[in-house]
Structure 1
């Protein structure tokens, strides 16, 4: 399967799962983390729809979506600084045991998305940028998120 297609499907499924996961969350810190992740997923869906041809390519909209991903990704370490839990949370405890690595992975997403926000000019620029963004998401989720 093509990496862009897998990334777009993954983003769609993550967004749908996140919407369901938000119901019943009682810890406000966990809810804030989930909200930030949902915003990242929503922006990734915009890029994925363009990459799959489901939405017309719009460079301004693509750059705005990438900038939104970068902004939310930059807030992730702060949102996870305190070890907060909730039964609905998908965060693994290893986040706080390996917080420096977690922060580095968040920074990698921030940088990949910021580079995309600064460089997407044509439809040809979109797929490699989305692949880099998706790769950073996957890397972090493999280590720090409960399996879906």
Structure 2
């Protein structure tokens, strides 16, 4: 569970950083990508807060958060298809240089979240879901994000 909480904590920090960066983004395609990533991050924060006991456990909200991750993950290839940039963007050119790998990693996130969808019946179930989802986020961020 501690690993899951660390992954969720990292996602929350990344979401806050992204939210601050959004205010200066001028390119609409980049802003749409950043908004999507923020939705994923905020969904993971919801799960993390429940796992840590910061907020009360709510199975419906937890499953909705998982569903939001899956839905946003499904849009990643479309959002990143335009090779657009912005000074505030953290997307690396490696995304488009290694497009097949990038989209496969987005698919891994979607699959992990889809597989976890509907599986959260208790706070303990969050850990298992995050153990599946967290590494897929990190795999992409390590290679494709500044």
| Structure 1 residue 18, shift from structure 2 partner | 0.6
- Cα distance between partner residues in 1 of 2:2 and 2:121: 22
Residues 33-48 of structure 1 aligned to structure 2 (within 5 Å): 33-48=33-48
Q: Give the CA deviation at 1:118.
A: 2.6
Aligned equivalent of 2:14: 14
Superposed displacement of residue 43, structure 1: 0.6
1:6 deviates by 1.0
8 Å Cα contact 2:73-2:106 kept in structure 1: yes
How far the C-alpha of 1:113 sits from its partner, in A, is 0.9
| Conserved? CA contact 2:26–2:86, under 8 Å | yes
2:80 is matched with: 80
How far, CA to CA, are the matches of 2:57 and 2:130 in structure 1? 13
CA contact (8 A) 1:62 1:117 kept: no
CA contact (8 A) 2:67 2:113 kept: yes
How far did residue 28 of structure 1 move? 0.6
Which position in structure 1 is the counterpart of 2:143?
143
Structure 2: where are the runs of 5+ without partners? Answer: none
Structure 1, gaps ≥5 residues long? none
1:61 aligns with 2:79: no
Match of 2:118, SS state, is helix
Question: What is the TM-score with the length of structure 2 in the denominator?
Answer: 0.95
Count of matched residue pairs: 146
2:36 & 2:104 partners in 1: Cα distance? Answer: 17
1:23 is matched with: 23
